[in-house]
Amino acid sequence: MRNGQAEGLPTPGSEGLVQQRYQGAVPTHAFAARRREVAFLRWTLRHRTRLNYPGIPAAWVVGLLMIQGAGWGTLVQGSPHPQNQFSTASDALKGVVATIALPGQPFGVTWDTVKGEAFVALWNIPSVGSGAVSIVLAAKDEVVTTTVVGYFPEGVAYDGGKGEVFAANTHTNNVSVISDATNTVVATVPVGNWPLGVTFDSAKGEVFVSNEGSNNVSVINDSSDRVVATIPVGNGPDPVVYDPVKGEILVANPGNGSAIGTVSVINDSTNQVVATIPVGLYPLGLAYDSGKGEVFVTNAGSNDVSVISDVSDQLIATIPAGSHPQGIAYDSGKREIFVGNANSNNVSVINDTTNTVVASVTVGDSPQAVAYGSGTDDVFVANWDSWSLSVISDNSTTTGGSGGGFLGLPGVDGYVAVGLIGAAVVLVGIGVGLTLRRRRRAGVRGSGGSSAPPQGPTL
């Protein structure tokens, strides 16, 4: 028994969800704001506060409208998950919306854009004595089936041309090919020693597999499911990523972690290394940013992220991250980079315009791999020690579909802030009104009523 779940393959549909998404229940603070507004109006009528100066009622009206806008805004805002009709980004609201239990320790994850499923590589399932790949249906946040593959699979990649997923099995020195139509293994391809990373080259219809034990990259033709080339690279190659603009494959070579790691750049037309770029210590993750034409590299040994320009093939920035960053993914919808920090148990969110960390999201124990679910605005994080998959939403919801929340402020936090400002305006108006009323009464008593200004209207 691990994490309250029996060890072994679960029955389809029974293993997945341990935390349901927030399904749009109306936030209680919205009703509280409305109750406070009604209570204030009742108090005002009961005390019949005099409104002799136009600035005082104007302040009250503005404040009440702000509170009302904030209250109704949060009612409309609803769930922070993008299931709702209109969406906009909100860094302040990024968070885990679901945690999915897995039957083994996850090491890799990839996204199937056609089926809307995440494929998660599991190192070992004790009752089976082998590795497996769990298929998670994003719409329901649950595991729909688990497919047995070779021993200790790590890297996984989706082949959109064939509708197949390739899983690198480190201890059996081969790659399992899974059909996403049947969720079964349709081929097993021998590669080099200790295969780790996998990426799909959509232009060539080829799969590139890094072999840590043989310091090379195997190239698999996805039509024949056979190795058609082997490319020597650096020491201990691990993650690989495809740059479709340049037609290049980038491979990170962490070595033994004691020296600066490198990234080998492979031309996919010649299958030759055309550049070698020094990065940080022990690079273990790669992600291609299509919006900037840049490659982001996680350096587990130096706790930072290197940014490489694919135009110059040079290092152009270094961004501090959490402790032992590993998995990384590019969110094309928000142009953000999500970095899993294995020793910090969180995910750093990097804005690719400023190259700064704009948010940090707590996930499970020892996050190893990250994948972006295009079309869902979800980010999937494989947690090694938790035997789980965290689902992070990069969205909040608004009534407009663009921009921020009320008065341009983002999300529920923006509405709450506006409500607080409105409440402050009302309180100032009350204070000014009461002060003027006391002074007026004092003036009436001091003059015997002969010089008192005429009374204004009352509510």
Per-residue pLDDT, averaged over 426-430, amounts to 63
Q: pTM for the whole thing?
A: 0.69
455, containing H or E segment: none
pLDDT of residue 309: 97
Tens digits of per-residue pLDDT, 210-266?
A: 999 999 999 999 999 999 999 999 999 999 999 999 999 999 999 988 889 999 999
Q: Whole-number mean pLDDT of the chain?
A: 77
Tens digits of per-residue pLDDT, 390-422?
A: 999 877 322 223 333 333 333 334 444 545 565
Tens digits of per-residue pLDDT, 119-170?
A: 999 998 887 888 999 999 988 899 999 999 999 999 999 999 999 999 999 9
Asked if the model's pLDDT at residue 114 lies above 50, the reply is: yes
Q: What's the CA gap between 82 and 56, in Å, rounded?
A: 41
Query: Regarding the domain with residue range 106-323, which homologous superfamily does it belong to in the CATH classification?
Result: YVTN repeat-like/Quinoprotein amine dehydrogenase (2.130.10.10)
**Packed helices 411-447 and 28-47: angle between N→C axes, nearest 10 degrees:** 10
Tens digits of per-residue pLDDT, 115-130?
A: 999 999 999 888 788 8
Q: What's the CA gap between 48 and 35, in Å, rounded?
A: 20
Domain residue limits, the chain:
106-323
Q: What's the CA gap between 309 and 42, in Å, rounded?
A: 63
